[in-house]
A and B are shown apart, each in its own frame.
Chain A
Amino acid sequence: MAAAATAQPSHRRLPLFAAVLRSEFCKLRSVRSSIWALLAAVVFNVAAGALLAIFLPGALSAQDKAAIDATRVSLGGLHLSQLAIGLLGVLVITSEYGTGMIRATLAAVPQRRLMLVAKTTVFAATALTTGIAACFAAYFAFQAFLPSGDSMRTSLSDPGVLRAVTGGGLYLTLLGLFGLGLGTVIRSSAGAVATLFGVLFVPSLIMTLLPQSWQDTIGPYLPLQAGETIYTVQQQTGTLGPWAGFGVFSLYAAGALAAGFLLIRHRDA
């Protein structure tokens, strides 16, 4: 066989983790579903920001405009883009289990936890970059399409605005990481997607059936309610502060990732 100088490591000095990072980045960028999900997140954000800026001013009274959280409105696309990023976070790992690729992956990198950390790092960096870019794009699209002199116009230097716009990107990233953690634990795409969106959306629905005092006590700690504080400028009463809420939201993602990290080591692949 043409054996081979070419089979020798071309990056002999590259530490193992760096090599695995490159491998995981290669995986992420080389399937179309990743590109589509990331593109969808940007398009949803920008389109929603622009459309809301075009149609909302005419539909709202001056009083409504004064009461509204205009920055959060400009990030209205997050309601859609979170689906794309959450789905991508799940698929990054479950597609490997679903296709059998995981066996090729683990045969190439038997250090499973190292592989999972590399995968998580690559996804987090990609989601953060895309998420922050998508939120700033949405914010500026909203400002650009508002009629000049509209009272909903804000500036990044206004209190809380820069934090909220950046926070939209942080929120997307953590939501995707929550999906990645659940995907590692559950391993099936359908099961993990259903669990992710179930855990995000269903508790809020159930809460409405519960006594008010329960809602007040538990409500702020539910994932969606805790998570949305980071991209909100005008905090509602009875919610957590932006960073406290974001901290709680991060705990959900951290919990799922930790469970995956514990399980992946010894499970049969």
Chain B
Amino acid sequence: MIEAAGLSKRYGPTVAVDDLSFTVPPGQVTGFLGPNGAGKSTTMRLILGLDAPTSGTVTVNGRPYATYHRPLFQAGALLEASAAHGGRSAYNHLLCLALSNGIGRARVSEVLGLVGLRTVARRRTGGFSLGMSQRLGIAAALLGDPPVLLFDEPVTGLDPDGVVWIRNLLKSLAAEGRTVFLSSHLMSEMSMTADRLIIIGRGRLIAQASIEDFLGGGPGSYVRVRSPQGDALATLLKAQGATVDGQPDGTLRITGATPGAVGELARANDITLAELSAHQASLEERYMELTKDSADYRTAGDALVPGGK
């Protein structure tokens, strides 16, 4: 469980994170979404006590992260792929981190196996590809087998196999009851992985909801129907309070009724349906819709990158 309350971070005149309050619950993958420079990485660093907030608080399992002795048992983080000395072997990199928390060599070997780096464990990390570095960072996050995991842009640089691997790993970690907090600017990836979303723009909270609520709530969702008796069906639906738009291709776009209700209505009135499908807005559509009011941040956002990617 991660809880932020009124979290703000200023770098000189630049406001990177602005009065952010959110909760990341256990047992789910919570996606942290926002454009580059929205403050995602800064928020991650604030959670881990690497940067000090200008105001507000953030706790991990009820306490500020920096107050823990041996915090690798509380939370693990992949912050950036290259957070390793290139001259050190993967095994030694993990061992040095593990020893500081009293974790032994057996666990180091185990996490190397978990992320698929066992065969290159003795190689120096300077020669690692981006994907291998990401796996090394994930291994470091898993060292203490912690109940909370943070991943900042974990799929960056991974090949398709790696992307699928990470997606499954995150889901299985959440299924074990862990708190998984995943930042990304890749919306397609989020829609496949996350159960919940926290969306920020320009350091401010824009939305915080389950992915179903998020996708279902907007005008982008509708039921699509094709029927030889389209006019009759449209009249019946309108009588029940749904909105029906005839489309140029002869289908009906219905909002305000579920696919089940439409099907039942058709059966009861002996109407043939040639096609019945639910259409959900893509995450991207919903995201654009939500953020279109946030003025100019889509362009200005990229300039707001203290320490960002």
B50 within 8 A of A: yes
In chain B, what residue has the closest Cβ to A34?
B87
A10 CA to B108 CA, complexed, in Å: 12
A205 within 8 A of B: no
In chain A, what residue has the closest Cβ to B178?
A1
Whether A107 pairs with B100 at a CB distance below 8 angstroms is no
A27 within 8 A of B: yes
**B104 CB contact (under 8 Å) in A10, A30, A107:** A10
Whether A6 pairs with B97 at a CB distance below 8 angstroms is no
B209 within 8 A of A: no
Whether A110 pairs with B66 at a CB distance below 8 angstroms is yes
Whether B102 pairs with A12 at a CB distance below 8 angstroms is yes
Provided the pairs A7-B143, A33-B87 are in contact, do residues A107 and B48 lie with their beta carbons within 8 angstroms? Answer: yes
Whether A30 pairs with B92 at a CB distance below 8 angstroms is yes
Flag B37-53 by CB within 8 Å of A: 1 or 0 each: 00000000100111110
Whether B107 pairs with A266 at a CB distance below 8 angstroms is no
Provided the pairs A1-B176, A16-B70 are in contact, do residues A6 and B106 lie with their beta carbons within 8 angstroms? Answer: yes
Whether B51 pairs with A101 at a CB distance below 8 angstroms is no
In chain B, what residue has the closest Cβ to A14?
B102
A111 CA to B100 CA, complexed, in Å: 11
Q: Which residues 128-176 in B have Cβ within 8 Å of A in the complex? A: 140, 142-145, 169, 172-173, 176
Whether B96 pairs with A27 at a CB distance below 8 angstroms is yes
Whether A99 pairs with B85 at a CB distance below 8 angstroms is yes
In chain A, what residue has the closest Cβ to B108?
A6
Flag B74-108 by CB within 8 Å of A: 1 or 0 each: 00010110111111110011011101111110110
Whether A110 pairs with B80 at a CB distance below 8 angstroms is no
Whether A20 pairs with B50 at a CB distance below 8 angstroms is no
A26 CA to B172 CA, complexed, in Å: 32
A95 within 8 A of B: yes
| Chain A residues touching B, range | 35 or more
Question: What DSSP secondary structure best describes chain A's contact surface?
Answer: helix
Question: Which of B48, B85, B95, B101 is packed against the most chain A CB atoms within 10 Å?
Answer: B85
In chain B, what residue has the closest Cβ to A31?
B87
A99 CA to B79 CA, complexed, in Å: 13
B72 within 8 A of A: yes
Size of B's binding interface in residues, CB under 8 A:
51
A107 CA to B51 CA, complexed, in Å: 11
Whether A3 pairs with B95 at a CB distance below 8 angstroms is no
Which residues of chain B are near A96, meaning CB under 8 Å?
85
A10 CA to B107 CA, complexed, in Å: 10
Whether A268 pairs with B102 at a CB distance below 8 angstroms is no
B114 within 8 A of A: yes
Which residues of chain A are near B52, meaning CB under 8 Å?
266, 268
Which residues of chain A are near B93, meaning CB under 8 Å?
30
In chain B, what residue has the closest Cβ to A99?
B85
**B83 CB contact (under 8 Å) in A6, A31, A99:** A99
Provided the pairs A6-B110, A20-B100 are in contact, do residues A99 and B89 lie with their beta carbons within 8 angstroms? Answer: no
Whether B70 pairs with A9 at a CB distance below 8 angstroms is yes
In chain A, what residue has the closest Cβ to B48?
A107
**B51 CB contact (under 8 Å) in A1, A2, A111, A268:** A268
Whether B110 pairs with A10 at a CB distance below 8 angstroms is no
Flag A2-46 by CB within 8 Å of B: 1 or 0 each: 111011011110101001101110110011110000000000000
Whether A103 pairs with B95 at a CB distance below 8 angstroms is no
**A30 CB contact (under 8 Å) in B51, B89, B110:** B89
Which residues of chain B are near A9, meaning CB under 8 Å?
70, 73, 101-103
A59 within 8 A of B: no
Q: How many whole Å from A189's CB to the nearest CB in chain B?
A: 12
Provided the pairs A1-B173, A31-B88, A107-B48 are in contact, do residues A19 and B106 lie with their beta carbons within 8 angstroms? Answer: no
Which residues of chain A are near B95, meaning CB under 8 Å?
26, 30
In chain A, what residue has the closest Cβ to B169?
A1
Q: How many whole Å from B285's CB to the nearest CB in chain A?
A: 34
Whether A1 pairs with B114 at a CB distance below 8 angstroms is yes
B222 within 8 A of A: no
Q: 18 A-B residue contacts at CB 8 Å?
A: A1-B142, A7-B107, A9-B70, A10-B107, A19-B100, A19-B101, A23-B99, A26-B95, A27-B85, A27-B88, A99-B84, A99-B86, A104-B83, A105-B97, A106-B50, A110-B65, A269-B50, A269-B51
**Partner-B contacts on A (CB < 8 A):** 1-4, 6-7, 9-12, 14, 16, 19-20, 22-24, 26-27, 30-33, 95-96, 99-101, 103-111, 115, 266, 268-269
Q: Given A4-B107, A27-B88, A108-B100, list of 16 further CB < 8 A pairs?
A: A1-B169, A4-B145, A6-B106, A7-B145, A9-B73, A11-B104, A19-B70, A22-B99, A30-B92, A31-B85, A33-B87, A95-B85, A100-B82, A104-B84, A106-B48, A268-B52
